[in-house]
Amino acid sequence: MKTARIKMLVIFVAAVLMMLLPVQTVQAAKPIVLGLPLSTAFLYGWAAERGVKLAVEEINAKGGVDVGGEKRPLAVEVIDTRDLEPGVPVSDALLAVEKLILDKKADFILGGPVRSEAALAAMSLLSKYKKVSILTTGVLTPAYHAQVAKNYDKFKYCFRIHGEAQNLVGEMFANFGELKKKYGFNNLFIIAQDVSHARGAAEVMESVAKKKGWNVTGVEIYPTGATDFSMGLLKAKKTKSEIINIWMDMPESAILLKQWYEMKLPALPFGSTLAAAEQPSFWKATDGQGEYTLCNVVNAGNAPSEATPWTMKFYNAYAKRWGVEPEGLGSSSSYMAVYVLRDAIESAGSLDSDKVVTALEKTDIMGVYGRLRFDPKSHQVIPALDPKDGAVGSILQWQNGKRVVVYPKSIATGEIKLPPWMKK
Amino acid sequence: MAITTQRRKERIDRGINVRTEGIYALMSIKELSYLAAPRLVLIVGLLILPLLLPDMYWKRVITITCIYAFLALSFDFLAHFVGLVSLGGAFFVGIGGYLAAIANTYWGFPPWLTIPFAALVGGAVCTLLLFPCLPLRGVYFAIVSLMYPLFSARVIEALDIFGGTDGIMGIDGFSNHFVEEYAPLGLLLIALFAIRRLVTTDFGLVLRGVKDNDQAIRASGMNVTFYKSVAVYIASTMGCLSGAILVHIYMWSGISLFALDFSILPIAATVIGGSGTLIGPVLGCFILVPISELLRDFGTLRIVFYALILVGFIIFRSEGLMVWGQRKYHQFERWTQI
Amino acid sequence: MDILIYGTINSVALALYALGFAMVYGVSRLPNFAHGALYVLSGFITWTMLNSLGLPYIVSIVLTLIITGIIGAMIYQFVLIRVRGMEISEIIASYAIGLAILEGLRWGGFRGVNYTLPAFIAGSTNIAGISVDYQRLLVVAIGAAVVAVLWLFTHYTRIGLALRGMAQDERAAMMLGIDSDLMAVVAMGFGSMLAALAAILLLPLGNVVVEAGYNVLILAIAVCIVGGLGSWMGAVLAAFLIGFAQILTVVYLGAQYQMVVAIFAIILTLILKPSGIFGQQKELEERV
């Protein structure tokens, strides 16, 4: 008994030591470490991880980053923050960010945290350690760049390279306006998930819609993890809504779309951050029931289009490297963040945070989803409708098993179609 | 086989253990050190821990561990000295955290004021809110206390108060590292020894009576609910304290303060450390939280390992490390003929 | 009318979530916090058999029921039986097992929204002007059948009677020669099968995701507590109570209060009548 116990103890101690070892080994060449705090079990997490890794591999294959004359490779440290999971406190994600900074010696933070709440909470931490961070996935809350603008000196290290809720709203209304003109739609029903960015977006949608003369027939906010949307959908049906605007990134949103199909609801499901519908596998998962679903994937390059010459190059490289096409929000933006950062480091000639911040503010390159520039005050990427002017969004519709980009017009490959039961 | 059936192990108190039980312990250095050694090892060990750890990150892990340790201590105190199994550690953290955040951002209190404020007032708030449930026993109290943090989070979410799901930002951090590392450690040690002292007083005796036989306490003309609520106040004050510290460390507060992890992890630590020993749960935290951090490199597999370690402990060493350690320290075992 | 129809569907779904939990608790006084994990696990087992092994749907369903039942029984036989009677250890151990299953599935690649089970019968129909899909009607029909079968089983078969005996008075049951450990294992097996059944019926409505495990657990607990822990028929009645309460909340208050209602029901029930609305009052056991 006793020896067995001691043996177990020895094995345990050895196991713990072995886990410690790789942390302590020092690599010979000094790479620039990119820390990725991501919720790796979710689409927005792994899409970002893949995007970053693809870009890092491409850059390293060309010799790395030129820091003041010295060529240095890039290294990626991914850490699982679990911040999209329920029941996990944000402090856990924050500890993960600190681990990246303090333990993994990350020079820059890219990607997440993915959940808006966690990203907001991490801002203070980033300013405390003076680490430059570029958000590339998931975080849509306008509060993020509003904070940077409000308290520039403190939060100037925070950048965001993908679109946020406000331009998403703008993009959607451009489409709604067109639908109104074409089919005479006037009734809008909004369904949102009960998390800050979606709720905020739903409120903005409602007020803008009313201003623009839409009849908002209802706003339903479902708690995360809801599995029955029938009452909301029935309300939409009763009020003769013609568009259902969905703000939901939880996987249960697939239930909503299935219910929509089963009810043959005469309203167009128009989603944003509708993680379920972004992925190429959505078609198979719903047996085609999700046809006609519209979905804003935030940035071009997450779905096939010809926004810039780089778009399809990226799209194909990604598909080749990972065996799956770019799946949704976070793929192209994470990829571009690495290139933007490389340029900034090279023009700053050092890894010094303040110098890199200044260099990032001067960023102006033609990327996968258009011309990339940061607003110097809020550090939010500047959006545009034409890839020549700024970062373009991308709204796709599922048509006959394919993701067809329908907006913006400058890069569109098709037009919005209505389901057969809606045609009058 | 024949031999083992005729022998058995017997446990006998060490001589020194018996000698140190009375006042005579004061007579010799050897006996004094026998008594003081474990306590000194704990105090000194905890105090030099931050100095031994090389990098900032592990120092931060120690601070987080302290936060869980407060919760584990409060759980152990309630469960094994009062008989209230509270699965609502997250409720205390949330109330304490939000109070500190509100006091700091809305009213401009500095951290050295918000933390005691959140602890003392938070304790009162928790006690008041839990008051209707205090007569409940056993699993009923456990489940109702588990629901409290879930409920609070959903209420803040649905009503969109205190920053809604965004949380409250811009809370002051600690001004210097030294305070940030040692304030939680020092407070933890004070709380630990205070509770140890408390449970041996007359008041503690009544509390244990409440646990073992509440009808007898009632028959003695004492108000059981009153004693329970005082105990809950003490426990929730510790929980709120940890919540307030957490909020100031991360300069942020939000509904995830009510997360299930804050309820479950301290209980797991108690199971591993040894329930009813008060020190055990604290040690359990100092084992579990760092292990969880070491496992972080495994990504999502981390939680699987973690859960399996927990199950293993519950099944194969359900008494807990501290009970086992105490037995080894105070007693020796030998084989005897039957 | 729509409230009535969808309230019924929602209630039956809740009852299905809760029955397995109620059964295990009723027989062996074990709060099985791995219930949600078993629910999700069986969804993935069916999916694997259907898509990776290419078995016919009906075969996969039957096999899944059996496998989940065995897994549940094994969890009890090898792990939980050792902590029997220690409430806190039971909760932690079963929760930890559930956690290991759920996070293990996630690690094993079962993540995202790609995992869906086909509906038994596709399409929908109109009832009094409200369109309802066949799968939901089927859920109601099978749910009612399950409750009926369960009632017959516990009243007219030897094992069923033994289980009920255990639930009512364990010592007396032991005196009558009922093997209480064996019955507890059997109960856990049946409880897991009920979880699997619920999963197979309800998952085709949406997709199989790990997160569902946590929600199912909370809803199952909510129903069981309001109905009275351990009372099977109480659980069914409570499912209707909470089910309709939720639907009414969505209609008149707003969907964001849905969860608040469920949790508030638990807290209120526990404070006012801890043994649940339909449980027998055991004053001394539950409060001072």
The C-alpha atoms of residue A271 and residue A279 are separated, in whole angstroms, by 13
Size of interface A-C (CB pairs under 8 A): 111
Statement: residue A356 has pLDDT above 60: yes
Instruction: Name the band, by pLDDT with cuts 50, 70 and 90, for residue B124.
Output: very high
- pLDDT score recorded for residue A1: 44
CB B95 within 8 Å of CB B197: no
Indicate which CATH number applies to the domain containing C72.
Answer: 1.10.3470
Q: Tell whether A413 is within 8 A of chain B (Cβ).
A: no
A18 pLDDT tier (thresholds 50, 70, 90): low
Q: Does the pLDDT at position A23 exceed 60?
A: no
DSSP B175: S
- For residue range B64-79, what is the model confidence (pLDDT) as tens digits? 888 899 999 999 898 8
- Chain B neighbours among A 176-205 (CB < 8 Å)? 194-196, 199
Q: Where are the domains of chain B?
A: 57-328
Give the pLDDT mean for A74-95: 76
ipTM value > 0.85 = no
Within 8 A of C96 by CB-CB distance, chain B residues are 268, 307-308, 310-311, 314
**Which residues from B are below 8 Å from A86, CB to CB?**
260
Q: Is 50 exceeded by the pLDDT of residue B188?
A: yes
Per the CB < 8 Å rule, is B85 touching C288? Answer: no
Query: What pLDDT digit, counting tens, does each position of B39-67 carry?
Result: 888 888 878 877 777 777 788 888 888 88
User: Which residues contact residue B239 at a Cβ distance below 8 angstroms, ignoring those fewer than 6 apart?
Assistant: B70, B71, B74, B89, B91, B92, B93, B95, B96, B122, B126
* Burial annotation B50-61 (CB, 10 A radius, 16+ → b, else e): beeeeeebbbbb
Q: Check CB contact under 8 Å for B261 and A88.
A: yes
Residue of B nearest to A91 (CA): B250
Residue A28 has pLDDT above 60, yes or no: no
- Name which of A96, A102, A120 is nearest B296 (Cβ-Cβ): A96
**Confidence at residue B5, expressed as pLDDT on a 0 to 100 scale:** 64
Per-residue pLDDT averaged across C189-201, rounded? 87
Looking at every residue in chain B, the average pLDDT score rounds to 82
> Per the structure block, which two tokens stand in for B101?
């955040």
- Among A117, A148, A247, most B C-beta atoms within 10 A, so best to mutate, is A117
- Among B75, B87, B228, B303, most C C-beta atoms within 10 A, so best to mutate, is B303
Residue B335 pLDDT more than 70?
yes
Instruction: Identify all chain A residues contacting B170, using CB atoms and an 8 Å cutoff.
Output: 124, 151
pLDDT for C22 equals 84
C170 near A CB under 8 A: no
Partner residue facing A98 (CB), from B57, B261, B299: B57
Whether C255 and chain B come into contact, CB under 8 Å, resolves to: no
Report CA torsion sign: C83, C84, C90, C94: positive
Neighbours of chain B (3+ CB pairs under 8 A): A, C
* Structure confidence at residue B1 (pLDDT): 46
More confident residue, B311 or B20: B311
CB A85 within 8 A of CB B260: no
Per the structure, the complete domain to which residue C147 belongs is given by 2-286
Where is pLDDT greater, at A76 or A281? A76
Q: How distant is the Cα of C104 from the closest Cα of chain A, in angstroms?
A: 11
Measured between CA atoms, how close is B211 to chain C, in angstroms? Answer: 11
The number of CA neighbours under 13 Å toward the Cβ of B121 is 15
Nearest CA in chain B to A77: B297
Domain covering B57-328, topology = ABC transporter involved in vitamin B12 uptake, BtuC (1.10.3470)
Which residue from B64, B106, B42 is spatially nearest to B326, judged by alpha carbons? B42
Contact C31, C46 (CB under 8 A): no
At residue A199, what is the residue type? R
CB atoms within 10 A of CB C285: 12
Residue B275, SS3?
coil
Nearest CA in chain C to B319: C89
Which residues in chain A are classed under CATH 3.40.50.2300?
29-163+307-391, 166-297+394-422
Residue B331, classed as helix, strand or coil, is: strand
Query: Rounded to an integer, what distance in angstroms lies between the CA atom of residue A255 and that of residue A252?
Result: 5
- Angle, in degrees to the nearest 10, between helices B177-198 and B29-52: 150
- Do C218 and B132 count as a contact with CB atoms less than 8 A apart? no
Chain segment C236-275, per-residue pLDDT in tens: 888 888 888 888 877 777 766 777 777 777 778 777 777 7
Q: Which two tokens stand for residue A142?
A: 């306008």
User: How many CB atoms are closer than 10 A to CB B216?
Assistant: 12
CB-based contact (8 Å) between C2 and chain A?
yes
B335 backbone dihedrals φ, ψ, rounded to 5°:
-85, 140
* A 118-137: CB under 8 A from B: 120-121, 123-125, 128
In this prediction, residue A24 has a pLDDT band, given cuts at 50, 70 and 90, of very low
Identify the CA nearest to B283 among candidates B195, B179, B187, B189: B189
Interface test with C, best of A38, A43, A44, A227 (most C CBs within 10 A): A227
pLDDT exceeds cutoff 50 at C36: yes
The DSSP line for B280-328 is: HHHHHHHHHHHHHHHGGGGTTHHHHHHHHHHHHHHHH-TT-HHHHHHHH
pLDDT interval class at B237 (50, 70, 90): very high
Distance CA B104, CA B113 (A): 9
Which of A13-17, B159-163, C32-36, C174-178 is the least confident region?
A13-17
Q: How far is B47 from chain C (nearest CA, A)?
A: 31
Q: What is the CATH number assigned to the segment(s) A29-163+307-391?
A: 3.40.50.2300
Is residue B326 within 8 angstroms of chain A, CB to CB?
no
Give the three-class secondary structure for B169: strand
Do residues A285 and C116 make contact, with C-beta atoms less than 8 angstroms apart? yes
The CATH class of A166-297+394-422 is alpha beta
Residues A146-159 pLDDT 10s: 888 888 888 888 88
Residue C188 predicted with pLDDT over 70: yes
Q: Inspect the interface and report whether the beta carbons of A275 and C130 lie closer than 8 Å.
A: no
Q: Which chains have 3 or more CB–CB distances shorter than 8 Å to chain A?
A: B, C
Contact between A134 and A335 (Cβ < 8 Å): no
Q: Tell me which residue in B55, B173, B250 faces A121 most closely, judged by beta carbons.
A: B250
Say whether pTM exceeds 0.90.
no
Residue of C nearest to B224 (CA): C288
Percent with pLDDT over 70 in chain C: 90
Q: What is the pLDDT of residues B21-39, one digit of tens each?
A: 777 666 777 777 887 788 8
> Using a CB-CB distance cutoff of 8 angstroms, which residues of chain A are in contact with residue C11?
none
How close, in Å, is residue C202 to chain A by CA atoms? 10
Closest-CA residue of B relative to A221 is B158
Q: At A189, is the secondary structure helix, strand, or coil?
A: strand
